[in-house]
Amino acid sequence: MPCLTIAIANQKGGVAKTTTVSELGELLSQQYHKKVLMIDIDPQASLTSIKGDMNDIIINNRKTMSNVMLRQSSIDEIVIPIKTNLYLAPATLVLSDVELNIINATLRELILKAALNSMLGSYDFVLIDCPPSRGLLTVNALSASDYVLIPIQAEYQALLGLQLLKNTVANVQSQINKELKVWGYVVTMTTRTNQSSDTLNEIKKDHYPILSTIPRSTKVSDAGVANMSTYEFDTNNPAGSAYLKLSEKLLGLEM
């Protein structure tokens, strides 16, 4: 099976993008023994804070995705091994300046794709944690990906602005990456409230499928602190089981 690159994207923050990347990375690498690279391309660097050692990166001035996007380093040079089969390309807040620095760069939308091309044979999956924006970093992630997965929270406000992200995806598909496919939605932090149910019904009207619904659970954050998937942390937890089923669907994707 060739390497699959998945961008996890939504311009709205707080929809569990980073959690989804972390969960899928843990499950694919630890439960299914796939070699997985997680790329943090969000200047908030939440994925790096959860999975890596931010103090070590800053104190030792280690190279990060900022260096990659400025074409100063290869991805291989910055990758950090997290555990067996799981690797991280880290970010720091410095990444927030990169979009301004590359705005006039040649082929600026394809910087990440070019960086990934040389090492895709080394991994089974590449998971990209995108920033909550539609800027150049997100466009780079979409341009480099085979699929985009859209996490969306089960509340009405999460639907606002979703069309803008879909427009960005459509623009990338038509102008840069004709092979990009929308895998679908993962609806996160669902509850048994009317609002959650109404939001699900609205999302179902879309032509993109709902791949999974993830119930709200404190065990998800507890598992993150323990540096493991929710399923590994508590095999009986509904959120963990839902992420496990999502990872199984990811294994079934074809190029």
Segments making up each domain of the chain, as ranges: 4-251
193 versus 109: which is more confidently predicted? Answer: 109
pLDDT above 70 (res 194): no
> Hey, what CATH topology would domain 4-251 get?
Rossmann fold (3.40.50)
Task: Report in angstroms the alpha-carbon separations of 38 from 5, 83, 123.
Answer: 10, 12, 10
- State yes or no: pLDDT of 255 exceeds 60: no
pLDDT at 170 over 70: yes
Q: What is the pTM of this model?
A: 0.94
| CA dihedral (148, 22, 253, 36) positive or negative | positive
pLDDT over 70 percentage in the chain: 97
Q: Is pLDDT above 70 for 254?
A: no
Q: What pLDDT does 48 receive? A: 96
Helix (H) or strand (E) segment spanning residue 216:
none
pLDDT of residue 16: 87
Is the pLDDT reported for residue 118 higher than 90?
A: no
3-state secondary structure of 93: helix
DSSP 247: H
Share of the chain above pLDDT 90, in %: 68
Query: Which is higher by pLDDT, 205 or 184?
Result: 184
Q: Are 43 and 68 in contact (CB under 8 A)?
A: no
The one-letter code for the residue type at 116 is L
Most confident by average pLDDT, 3-12, 29-38, 145-154, 196-205: 29-38
Average pLDDT, the chain: 91
How confident is the model at residue 247, as a pLDDT?
96
**Which residue type does 112 have?**
L
Kindly report, residue by residue over 119-164, the tens digit of the pLDDT: 888 999 999 999 998 899 999 999 999 999 999 987 777 777 688 8
Average pLDDT in the 40-59 region?
93
Which two tokens mark 205? 């009207």
